[in-house]
Amino acid sequence: MSDTRPEYPAEAIFLEHGGQLRMSEAIRLGISRYMLYSLRDKGIIEQVSRGIYRWAELPAISDPDLVTVSLRYPRAVICLVSALAHHSITTQIPHAVSIAITRDARIPRLDYPPIRVYRFAQQAFEAGVEEKVIDGAKVNVYSAEKTLADVFKFRNKLGLDVFLEALKLYASRKSADLGGVLRYARICRVDRLIRPYLEAIV
């Protein structure tokens, strides 16, 4: 029987953490920069983005943009059109990953993929966050109901048609919870304005 144990402790550390690590995490876990670059040069790991490394033999990433952004900025939350696309309630194709941050947070910078940053008030930022695991990486994304409320709040920037299409697609689902949308709209302070649209779709 062949020995399938990792050749280097660094490899074991990668595998124990889902096969993906930020450089800062790798160093904190005991992998030196030299070892990290050595593993990369040998093709054992691959550089997904600046400062993010992934076990090369893992299956292809199903949603590389969301995974890359979430690994780089774990406190950010996928929002608006990117969240609509994640929940399959839009025909819009995101040209950048939309992320929410708090009003006092540092604006993230990333060479690739392109990101679009929105500042949320603390209560709105914390409400409706779902923790997903995509290809071994933790991804924070707003629920479909919270996302609809957010899209309506940002309708002047995104277009009311984006909200109306998403609402129609969402309402067609058996699991649709329009009451939940209204609750999040209340947190976003747009409940009075959104209510007629929710009532019209019933």
pLDDT surpasses 80 at 2: no
d(CA 62, CA 67): 9
pLDDT surpasses 80 at 16: no
Give per-residue pLDDT as tens, 26-72.
Answer: 888 888 888 888 888 888 887 776 677 777 776 665 567 888 888 88
> Are residues 186 and 147 located together in one domain of the fold?
yes
Closest residue by Cα to residue 169 from 77, 96, 100, 85: 85
Closest residue by Cα to residue 145 from 191, 182, 116: 182
What value does the mean pLDDT of the chain take? Answer: 85
> Are residues 86 and 176 located together in one domain of the fold?
yes
pLDDT surpasses 60 at 1: no
Give the model's pLDDT for residue 49: 66
State percent of the chain over pLDDT 90: 48
Q: Say which residues have a Cβ less than 8 Å from residue 100's Cβ, sequence separation at least 6.
A: 76, 77, 78, 79, 80, 118, 119, 120, 125, 142, 150
Is residue 1 assigned to a domain? no
**Which tokens hold the place of 101?**
């941050």
> Are residues 43 and 128 located together in one domain of the fold?
no
Give the model's pLDDT for residue 59: 63
Closest residue by Cα to residue 65 from 41, 92, 86: 86
Overall average pLDDT of the 181-186 stretch = 96
Give the model's pLDDT for residue 73: 86
Q: Say which residues have a Cβ less than 8 Å from residue 134's Cβ, sequence separation at least 6.
A: 61, 62, 63, 66, 67, 70
Is residue 101 assigned to a domain? yes
pLDDT: which is higher, 110 or 133 = 133
Give the model's pLDDT for residue 60: 60
- The total number of structural domains in the chain stands at 2
Q: What are phi and psi of 77, to 5 degrees?
A: -125, 130
Overall average pLDDT of the 168-173 stretch = 94
Domain that holds residue 37: 9-55
End-to-end CA distance of the chain: give it in Å, rounded: 62
> Are residues 33 and 76 located together in one domain of the fold?
no
Closest residue by Cα to residue 116 from 163, 69, 149: 69
- Give the torsion sign (CA, 39, 45, 46, 49): negative
> Are residues 32 and 126 located together in one domain of the fold?
no
Q: What is the CATH number of the domain that holds 127?
A: 3.30.460
Give per-residue pLDDT as tens, 63-117.
Answer: 678 888 888 888 999 999 999 999 999 998 888 899 999 998 888 777 777 889 9
Give the model's pLDDT for residue 8: 59
> Are residues 15 and 104 located together in one domain of the fold?
no
pLDDT surpasses 70 at 7: no
Give the model's pLDDT for residue 154: 96
Yes or no: say if 167 and 148 are a contact pair by the CB < 8 Å rule.
yes
Listed in sequence order, the DSSP H helices in the chain are 9-16, 23-28, 33-41, 64-72, 80-86, 122-126, 144-153, 155-158, 160-171, 178-187, 191-201
